[in-house]
Amino acid sequence: MNNNEQNVKRGGISVDTEHIFPIIKKWLYSEKDIFLREIVSNASDAITKLKRLSALGIRDGGDETYSITVRLDSAAGTLSVEDNGIGMTEEELEKYICSIALSGAVDFIKKYEDESGDAKNGIIGHFGLGFYSSFMVSDRVEVITKSYTDAPAVYWSCNESGEYETSASERADRGTAVIMHIAEDEKEYLSASKIRAMLEKYCSFMPVDIYFVDESEEVSEDKTPEPVNDKSPLWQKAPNECTDKEYKEFYRKVFLDYKEPLFHIHINADYPLNFKGILYFPKLANEYETIEGQVKLYYNQVYVADNIKEVIPEYLLMLKGVLDCPELPLNVSRSYLQTNTYVSKVSAHIVKKVADKLVALCNNEREKYGEIWEDIAPFIEYASMRDKKFYDRTKSALLLKLTDGTKVTLDEYLEEAKEKHENKVYYATDAALQAQYISMLEAEGIKVALLERPIDTQFATMLEQYMTDVKFLRVDADVADAVKGDGEINESEQIKALFADVAGEGVTVKFDRFKDASVPALLNVSEESRRMEEMMRFYNMQNGASFPTESTLVINNASPLIEKLEQTSETEPEKAKRIASYIYKVSLLSQKKFSSEEMQEFMKDSFDLLMDL
Ligand code: ADP
């Protein structure tokens, strides 16, 4: 116990508005444009509150129509937002507007919360700061308001230093007008196109009709004004009430993407997680297009931001879509989001929904799934590499595109492989270049998968880590048992020496017997060393190209050409050497792309051989 307790003074930190105002102006929101969202959200809240009072029977709403008008008067230098919502009495204005950080929304919720906790439903305000964002762009803000009660209308005017005056107003209509006198250095907010763009970005789906009036524009009498927003966006409807056409139209309108999306996922989570949204798998224009999606985050139909990776995992940001998370505070810090359990649950739910949809498509609509596979494969592969949980959920929906054009699931492939090449997945990265190897495998009924994109092979490496029994082998990595023929293997020292000489160091010469006698030799490159080299090249490691790859030249004992070569080597050793060198080059040609020097040399050899014919 403090002996001097009697001398201790206590108090609350007091803050002067004149100090706080410049801070608000500068720091309240990183993006100034947001002020319009805040003021229009307040107007929308005011209408939502009034509707709620009608719904609760506290007042008779009759068949009132509610709307917000955003009016730009560039000649007068003002931008105003007017609503016919709940309005404020002088006391309310004093309480909610004149004292910063006293949110009327919170008070309203407390007062009118019904048993189900429903009062909060649809009300946007939270912090009691939004209104002041108007000072980020204004040097004076006026409020003219009339409460839905009998209380008289009030006029309030406040300058940029926070000095205000209040007086009686003549206003007869219920509702509030906020008139912002745009500051000298913020003139861009007096441009109609700027305001239109801001309304489009932030207010497109707000739940009350919003009209934009540009006073400098002549409007013909017979033109009925159209709201700038769609107050019932598709995501708010129940999925079974939405048509395919509506989903496509919504996509086109929101993302201005005229390519049809591949498919969509409508999330409508009620209890215990409250959020809704529609996610689309976009169609890529071409394989070179960078995969960059756009997931727009809304809070009760008010736009918050794009691509918030705390809410949707970064690897799903390749998708395009909208998410409405009403439990999310409008203006929150990233670090807050990272630790918020609602946010992490939403994120996990999205992952589950996307994965479930893929599996459902694969199981129930295989043909369609097969058709879109090539477009969605990079998404799925990337997502699986980033998140094991996503992989676990979608692994049954992984397809392999085969060289014969068909598509099978990885499970189906492995099932079929059991007999001839258990747990081995043969693949090609270039069907034309590797045609020799592919045709030998196909002749034996072995299916070959096409892994043409760099991500495909990286994904295969990941699959091997998760399915430890399974091995992905490029067609030129080994000679499959199935293509081997019966019969004795003659390891002729002479032939071995001949090929060892022409192939040079680093190439091992081996003998085998293939069913296909027309192929004299095949070059195999060890899967591990080739992948290592590819990886080094991928990560741009300098000496990647010179990384030693272990290659083996397999001589086919069944080949009559080899048999002939053996005879020639005894009678005409020089000629035999030229033939061996040519065979080696042909086998090299079907394994990799020739450099220009290699190609020129090969052509020269070909012509020289023709001369001898
Ligand atoms: P928040 O909206 O986060 O509660 P604001 O600073 O934006 O905080 O607004 C403070 C309060 O002022 C609101 O909660 C509301 O009670 C009142 N208010 C603001 N704008 C309006 C309006 N257009 N109509 C009625 N009340 C309003």
Mutate to test the pocket of ligand 1, among 29, 45, 111 (most ligand atoms within 8 A of CB): 45
The answer, yes or no, to whether any atom of ligand 1 lies below 6 A from the CB of 46, is: yes
Atom of ligand 1 nearest to the CA of 101: 6
| Per-residue CA distances from 72 to 83, 175, 184, 211 (Å) | 15, 19, 16, 11
Q: What is the pLDDT of residue 439?
A: 94
Chain centroid offset of residue 562 CA: 56
Atom of ligand 1 nearest to the CA of 108: 16
Atom of ligand 1 nearest to the CA of 330: 3
Torsion of CA 336, 340, 344, 347, to 10 degrees: -60
Atom of ligand 1 nearest to the CA of 124: 2
Mutate to test the pocket of ligand 1, among 21, 89, 98, 103 (most ligand atoms within 8 A of CB): 103
In DSSP terms, 554 is beta-bridged to: 510, 522
The answer, yes or no, to whether any atom of ligand 1 lies below 6 A from the CB of 133, is: no
The answer, yes or no, to whether any atom of ligand 1 lies below 6 A from the CB of 49, is: no
Position 185 confidence tier, pLDDT thresholds 50, 70, 90:
very high
Among the listed residues 346, 378, 383, 377, the one whose alpha carbon sits nearest the alpha carbon of residue 362: 377
The answer, yes or no, to whether any atom of ligand 1 lies below 6 A from the CB of 602, is: no
Using CA atoms, how far apart are residues 276 and 300, in angstroms rounded to an integer?
A: 10
Residue at token pair 């005056």:
165
Q: Answer whether residue 565 shows pLDDT above 60.
A: yes
- CATH code of 17-214, in short, is 3.30.565.10
Q: Answer whether residue 1 shows pLDDT above 50.
A: no
Q: Answer whether residue 26 shows pLDDT above 90.
A: no
213-228: per-residue pLDDT in tens? 999 998 888 888 999 9
Position 212 confidence tier, pLDDT thresholds 50, 70, 90:
very high
In DSSP terms, 155 is beta-bridged to: 144, 167
Q: Per-domain residue ranges for the chain?
A: 17-214, 234-371, 399-611
**CATH superfamily of the domain spanning 399-611:** Heat shock protein 90, C-terminal domain (1.20.120.790)
Higher pLDDT, 571 or 13: 571
The answer, yes or no, to whether any atom of ligand 1 lies below 6 A from the CB of 177, is: no
Atom of ligand 1 nearest to the CA of 97: 12
240-279: per-residue pLDDT in tens? 999 999 999 999 999 988 889 999 999 998 878 889 999 9
The answer, yes or no, to whether any atom of ligand 1 lies below 6 A from the CB of 109, is: no
The answer, yes or no, to whether any atom of ligand 1 lies below 6 A from the CB of 176, is: yes
Report CA(58)–ligand 1 centroid distance (Å). Answer: 20
Report CA(95)–ligand 1 centroid distance (Å). Answer: 10
Q: Answer whether residue 329 shows pLDDT above 90.
A: no
Q: What is the pLDDT of residue 601?
A: 92
Q: What is the pLDDT of residue 228?
A: 97
Q: Answer whether residue 29 shows pLDDT above 70.
A: no
The answer, yes or no, to whether any atom of ligand 1 lies below 6 A from the CB of 130, is: yes
The answer, yes or no, to whether any atom of ligand 1 lies below 6 A from the CB of 205, is: no
Task: Write the CB contacts of 385 (distance below 8 Å, at least 6 apart in sequence).
Answer: 391, 458, 459, 462
Q: What is the pLDDT of residue 4?
A: 55
The answer, yes or no, to whether any atom of ligand 1 lies below 6 A from the CB of 28, is: no
DSSP secondary structure string, 140-159? EEEEEEE-SSSPPPEEEEEE
The answer, yes or no, to whether any atom of ligand 1 lies below 6 A from the CB of 97, is: yes
Residue at token pair 């129509």:
65
What is the rounded end-to-end Cα distance, in angstroms, of the chain?
112
H or E element that contains 239: none
Q: What is the pLDDT of residue 332?
A: 55
Using CA atoms, how far apart are residues 554 and 556, in angstroms rounded to an integer?
A: 6
Q: What is the pLDDT of residue 115?
A: 47
Report CA(346)–ligand 1 centroid distance (Å). Answer: 28
* Assigned token pair, 589: 């040609």
Report CA(131)–ligand 1 centroid distance (Å). Answer: 6
CATH topology of domain 234-371: Ribosomal Protein S5; domain 2 (3.30.230)
Among the listed residues 209, 203, 231, 229, the one whose alpha carbon sits nearest the alpha carbon of residue 298: 203
Amino acid of residue 280: Y
pLDDT, the chain, mean = 87
500-516: per-residue pLDDT in tens? 999 988 899 999 999 99
